[in-house]
């Protein structure tokens, strides 16, 4: 399992492979966006990213997101994360793979 933090105003994507890390959710806020992706929800969640259900912007409610990837395969989880980044990057250029790398914490 991995936890991912996506920040739009200061474009960065951080992936935590140690889900017990104190850094995760240290800047937690009320109504924090949180998504859990499992084998059961994978198709539905990818569809939401593709259809731009999840929006990003400078407003507090949409400026960041946490994603828990629980797919029992670290390589597959990373591949899914890269695909999500590609989908987001089509509409939010600062988060595209060309401009933002995925950092491991």
**Residue for token pair 């988060």:** 95
Average pLDDT over residues 36-61: 96
- Determine the structural domain holding residue 46 and report its residue range: 2-104
Claim: this prediction has a pTM higher than 0.95? no
Nearest to 34 by CA among 10, 11, 12, 6: 6
Average pLDDT over residues 89-98: 92
d(CA 43, CA 27): 29
Report whether pLDDT(82) > 80: yes
Number of folded domains in the chain? 1
d(CA 53, CA 58): 16
Please say whether the beta carbons of 82 and 102 come within 8 A. yes
pLDDT digits (tens, 9 = 90+) for 15-34: 988 766 566 665 566 778 99
Query: How are beta strands 34-38 and 64-70 bridged, if at all?
Result: parallel
Q: What is the pLDDT of residue 31?
A: 78
């Amino acid at each position: 399992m991995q936890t991912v933090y996506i920040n739009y105003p200061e474009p960065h994507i951080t992936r935590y492979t140690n889900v017990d890390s104190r850094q995760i959710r240290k800047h937690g806020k009320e109504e924090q966006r949180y998504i859990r992706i499992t084998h059961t929800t994978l198709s539905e969640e990818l569809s939401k990213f593709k259809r731009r259900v999840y929006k990003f912007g400078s407003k507090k409610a949409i400026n960041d997101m946490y994603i828990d990837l629980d797919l029992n395969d670290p390589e597959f989880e990373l591949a899914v994360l890269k695909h999500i980044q590609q989908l987001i990057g089509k509409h939010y250029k600062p988060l595209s793979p060309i401009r933002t790398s995925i950092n491991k914490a």
